[in-house]
A and B are shown apart, each in its own frame.
Chain A
């Protein structure tokens, strides 16, 4: 028996070695023969020949729900749409609004924007085609509008589209959009952006269909207007895209783009090292040092974006203001005092977190529009000043107690400066919350972090979510108000959106109701003229800044890793690396 066992074990070891010897696939192994890509499967990359098909493989941490962004808000769906179903315009690497299917951006100067701002006229490029050769015309834009507004379909959002009175198509290249009321964010409609979903849909494929949210097309579009077209999608595993020869722009350099769904960054890191994948766009800020250590085989690219991590105070009042904005609970009493809010802001060494935990690759933002053209450049972030913070708290009547925690009178009650802080359980948030706890302890403030899974932390009012029901003192998460600056801000800060039993879906997690804020936001949304809007939005930023309503922690960074053989295009802070996928190449 002993001998038999030895033989069996030897065979197992031998088989493992033989199978391992078959290993070592190159980065761009051919997709399955049955997956029917339009372009011949690429060969191994060890012997690049100019005439050989070029292929690259990206790893994404999540799989898109579907591909048509009207029916999903998942970033990964929007990324795929950038590659396959583009819009009239997009945002480039500088954050500038540039044409895609459109010939030019409508403006007052070229007659594209009417004097009253209610009519926008888009001109399409000549000779546009879908990947199947059918003409892409203004009729497709009108069809896109019709399907969004059709009650038989269930898009996730009709915001903005519901302000359109009519879409007319006097000829194949002209689209005239008339709004029923001023809609300054018109640039986010029918266009492709990070927070908006404006793919133009093919009328010749989808006309006559209803319930598009369940149509196979939204899971695997059969035609494309972007640089690539999807030819295969193996659920949970990978997606294969091949070049769209009818793409309006320059001919895409890569023949095939593979997207592999890799849920753990550790695997992606290993796959970059072995060359199994060419890029990974989903690293967290806490991975910066790890990826950087792999140079020169793996390159790190950090792009500070327009999203920001912020901490904020529960400013809710059950009374509301002028009968509006009543929250379910009152916020922590001391936070009503601007000096307390200011002291907490000054008492957190935000720059130290950026320098240490974020490897100095991003910045402490000054307002809610970091790295964007809307940012108020005249403001500077408050610097760390623990002595100044302590003095402010003394001035506000909070003296140090025997236990090292300040306490003082707040609305007639002796109140300790001891409060909870809620956020998600992401490791970087845990690390930073611990550092904040240490900083605030130095000024006599007890900061008690609670970490929950995102699904619990962000729960809505009807599910008893901690933010909408006001069951928190301070909280923190990431958000961003772009590409149009106002809709998101108005939804987050106005009296009308404080969540309560009457408005359970309200998005004002700060529970703040300040009529002055409402007034400033209304001013920022009262005109379509960007220059006039900028003045109002600058003033809004200054007001939030002066009142220390939120603690801006750091601008979120997009962290990419890519192998040396892969040549990406430029990286946009709005529009990531996918906005110009046609220039991607491999060495």
Chain B
């Protein structure tokens, strides 16, 4: 197994290298960091030329990339072009908020999806299954922007207008060290994410369980006289969970990137907003820093998922 992990780690390094090259090219081609000064009458032509030189943007793209890479391999993600702060500091300020939001969302989503997915599968084609399926498709089809703003309008604006207890919009100043306040401010963003996330997960779990329930060993278990509960939880669910491990394993690193739309709508100071704000301005040290962290997490979690598979599925051996 250790040889496998070592081999995958070396492959991962090459993968990361390719990812950084692609991200660098895309970032540099999508926005000029000095574009925001294009119409600024206070920045003279000479000022702009000097700034371009100071930021190294007048150098060929490969030179710019290798300078960044040279620092990155030493653990220095560089400084933002605009805030002048170290990228690692900027990320460290936002990452905890994103982790709290996204992991809460992921845990709730998995729990709710499991419940809905199992009910849907066990009671296939029942009224309940049809209701869950319908809501899954609605949740799956609706844009998060619409759900987030709609929820804010109802549970913050209208509830207050109607004199009901209401939830905050997220635009208020609140004490982030107060757990009650924290939970209160997480309800709407997490709920919106859960609605979208559950729709997909629940459908996936339903399909997975239905597939397993049709297997010979389940029929055998039933023939042995085992109760439905035992068949479902001891035999079907354990096997149906295998593909779920893959999905969750690949989802977790993506959580580090935050949720751009939800964070923006609920003014949540997370990674998604940080990425978007600086990507729009072409601040590639910040953009690449974030992408490098997410890419690294994806690669690492892929390896971890493969390893975990060997524990949950005795048929799989790493070689």
Contact = CB atoms under 8 A, between A and B. Distances in A.
Whether A associates with B in a native complex is yes
Contacts of B166: 20, 23-24, 274
B269 A237 contact: yes
A283 to B, nearest CB: 14
Interface in B147-181: 149, 152-153, 155-157, 159-161, 164-178, 180
Given A20-B167, A456-B30, A57 B39 contact: no
A477 B36 CA distance: 12
Interface in B195-225: none
Interface string B45-66: 1111101101001100000000
A59 interface: yes
B171 A460 contact: no
Interface in A513-563: none
Contacts of B229: 1
Contact of B84 (A22, A66, A277): A66
B12 interface: no
Interface stretch (B67-75, B130-138, B276-284, B296-304): B276-284
A29 B51 contact: no
Contacts of B274: 236
Interface stretch (B1-9, B13-21, B260-268, B310-318): B260-268
Contacts of B90: 235
B298 to A, nearest CB: 24
B94 A266 contact: no
B43 A156 contact: yes
B36 A73 contact: yes
A420 interface: no
A477 B39 contact: yes
A421 interface: no
B39 A487 contact: no
A373 B167 CA distance: 48
A274 B177 contact: no
Contact of B171 (A8, A270, A457): A270
A200 interface: no
Contact of B269 (A25, A234, A258): A234
A214 B81 CA distance: 11
Contact of A72 (B82, B152, B273): B82
A401 interface: no
B171 A59 contact: yes
Nearest to B48: A505
A454 B43 contact: no
B37 interface: yes
A121 B161 CA distance: 58
B172 to A, nearest CB: 4
Contacts of B52: 460, 462, 504-505
Nearest to B108: A12
A154 B50 CA distance: 10
Contacts of A359: none
Contacts of A477: 39
Contacts of A478: 39
A261 interface: yes
Given A20-B155, A263-B264, A267-B266, A219 B169 contact: no
B158 to A, nearest CB: 9
Contacts of B280: 453-455
Given A29-B174, A453-B30, A267 B152 contact: yes
A443 B153 CA distance: 45
B127 interface: no
A159 B171 contact: no
A19 interface: yes
Contacts of B34: 460
Nearest to B183: A19
A274 B157 contact: yes
Interface stretch (A30-38, A100-108, A405-413): A30-38
Contacts of A63: 277
A197 B160 contact: no
A566 interface: no
Contact of A491 (B45, B169, B177, B282): B45
Contacts of B31: 453, 455-456, 459
A19 B184 contact: yes
B61 to A, nearest CB: 10
B306 interface: no
Interface in A461-477: 462-463, 465, 467, 477
Given A34-B177, A267-B152, A65 B32 contact: no
B286 to A, nearest CB: 11
Nearest to B27: A455
A479 interface: yes
Given A71-B84, A74-B82, A504-B49, A479 B41 contact: yes
Nearest to B178: A32
A260 interface: yes
Contact of A505 (B41, B49, B115, B177): B49
B41 A21 contact: no
A270 B282 contact: no
B149 A507 contact: no
Interface in A261-304: 261-264, 266-268, 270-271, 273-277
Contacts of A72: 82
B94 A236 contact: yes
A496 to B, nearest CB: 8
Interface in A228-273: 234-238, 240, 258, 260-264, 266-268, 270-271, 273
Given A214-B84, A462-B52, 13 more contacts: A17-B165, A20-B187, A24-B160, A218-B84, A219-B85, A235-B94, A266-B149, A454-B280, A455-B32, A457-B35, A459-B32, A460-B32, A488-B41
Interface of A: 1, 5, 8, 16-17, 19-25, 27-34, 57, 59, 62-63, 65-66, 71-74, 154, 156-159, 188, 195-197, 213-214, 218-219, 234-238, 240, 258, 260-264, 266-268, 270-271, 273-277, 453-460, 462-463, 465, 467, 477-482, 487-489, 491-492, 497, 503-507, 509
The 7 closest A-B pairs by CB, nearest first: A488-B41, A455-B31, A236-B269, A271-B171, A458-B35, A459-B32, A276-B172
Interface of B: 28, 30-32, 34-49, 51-52, 54, 57-58, 79-80, 82-85, 90, 93-94, 97, 115, 119, 149, 152-153, 155-157, 159-161, 164-178, 180, 183-184, 187, 229, 264-267, 269-270, 273-274, 277, 280-282
22 contacts: A8-B115, A20-B184, A29-B173, A30-B175, A71-B84, A72-B82, A234-B176, A271-B171, A273-B157, A276-B169, A455-B31, A455-B280, A456-B35, A460-B35, A462-B52, A463-B32, A467-B38, A505-B45, A505-B46, A507-B44, A507-B48, A509-B39
